[in-house]
Structure 1
Amino acid sequence: MALAIKAEGIVKTFQSGWWHRKVKEVLKGIDLQVEEGEVFGILGPNGAGKTTLLSILSTLLLPDKGNIRILGIDALQDGHRIRERVNISSGNANFIWSLTVLENLRFYAMLYGLSGKRRETKIESLIDLFDLKEHLEVPFDRLSTGLKQRLSLAKSLLNDPTLLFLDEPTVGLDPGVSMRIRDQILATQKANRMTILLTTHNMKEAESLCHRIAFLREGKILAIGTPGDLKKVVRVGDLIRIQFEGSISEEELLRMEGVINYSISNQSCEIMVDDAERRAGPLAALLSSGGARIKHLTLEQTDLEDVFVEFSKDAGSDRGFCV
């Protein structure tokens, strides 16, 4: 598979202060490869370096060290060629406040070299895609946060980018609006077969959108892999909680494949297993055959939040994972 992004040894430092200058290394030797057509997520807490990395990869910021190729082009030598084929949308959308939705879209379309019927056709299609028709004459400063974000996404598709950068695309939005934005991102990516690199600290968003994920903390990548593979790497075990009537044979529990540990108290049982989805059915059948009547059964599986917490424990070491 061809690479949309290839970054090697990316380092970026910032200076602060006037009299006593302080130097902070924000990115510490980042290596990253993103395949064409992939939705790739960069996860990490605030201050991890996500936005700085995205700014460098989108050619808005130069690194201090490192090599970058975007869509096969040297980003340090031919950034202008890359900018013709990429675009970016930020969760902190910023447009000309006094212009309406339609005026802003026409303004940016002009900057991207669109004119006449081609411009109007493209704008009309994006208005339909992001459901902006009822808001065309509303000035930007009167839009809700969700509408501002939808306008930002529409703007980012005006030039039909091969590679789209999304910086916290649903930050500050309520769950319903966030879900709608995620659906629009997925629909757009599938329709255009574009590559998307997004930054977020929303684990559920990353899991629903991304083919692969990189965990970033303190300027270093801790792990790269699919959501499923990353969860397997750190999995201690899944938890099955059972409320029951009757009795449970502890001897039978210990003999069952996949059981790591368990505890029984009154008429409830917590069983740690290697894979909850795989073991829940056989476990329920075993307990029922032994005379227990199951009243309620729930599964608690490892999620990306657990993965990030686990990798964060090793932030001070040189340990890294690629799965």
Structure 2
Amino acid sequence: MDYKSAGVNIDTAEELVSWLQENQDDATHKELRVEGIGGFASLFRLPSGMKNPCIVSCTDGVGTKLKLAFEFKDYESVGVDLVAMCVNDMATVGAQPLFFLDYFSIGKLELDIAKPFLAGVMKACRESHCLLIGGETAEMPGFYPKGEFDCAGFAVGVVDGSEAWGKNRVKEGDRLYGIRSSGFHSNGYSLIRKIFEKDIGEHIDVLKRPTRLYVKPVLDLLKDRVEIHAAAHITGGGFDNVGRVIPKGLGWKVPKFEFPEIYREVKSRTGLDDRKILKTFNCGFGFILIAPEDSRQSIEKAFGEIHDFGLIAKSASEERLDWGNW
């Protein structure tokens, strides 16, 4: 008996590492990379030129959206999702992503699953100006059903601490600008899969659509020195996430708006009221910026279509969000 007969094929793992090395991004942050994929540790230089450089770290997963990837064999999309969930969080403080690491665990390492997944990871990293610098591929026989896997992502970036976005910058009179999502992104899929269980194939193009990446437009705003005070990534918990970047003494009255068609379908099938839908899903807006009104034109230039969600106002309530309109 040996390791291979127990279910772990080191040769396959080495083949995957070689494939990653051959296909890795040689352009992004080339001047900062010291040692990358294949070693025990990856080395990376910090960029220069910041007065108060602060390391920013984020970690996340894809959740039960993976079940759709298994059923419909679309592994690249969830690779994009994994990166997006991390780097979009990072974008909320106005940070520049530097590098990304992934953890991929599977019962039997199958290259026709791992390669498309990692191709999605690399694709999203390139789009987010972030380097896939390392990771872990764990072959765990007997732990997962055949063809299924789990994954986690870890992103590291940098921001000048004196310029980082956050609720300490938010002021009365700031406006909230909603940036469109590509769909459900990577949240709420335990419920979504139940809602569409009987006809999931009819809606699969929408349901498996990868998470929109917001990093490049954010980097454009930073490059142009556009004044942004805070941002929220609308993930699990829906619009309640906005309250996390509004300081005490201020609040936001969430205005009425029309849900995109797929969310209206969710409401119809579940009987959930609007407020619960808003507290569960992104409802068509995956990212919300809080900024002075003077920044609107620059935000539109960077992101394209945006939605004006009204004003930050004084509030004596402990609750940052006023749901009275709903």
Provide TM-score, normalisation by structure 1.
0.22
Which of the two has higher C-alpha Rg?
A: 1
Provide TM-score, normalisation by structure 2.
0.22
Higher RCO (CA-CA < 8 Å; seq separation 6+):
2
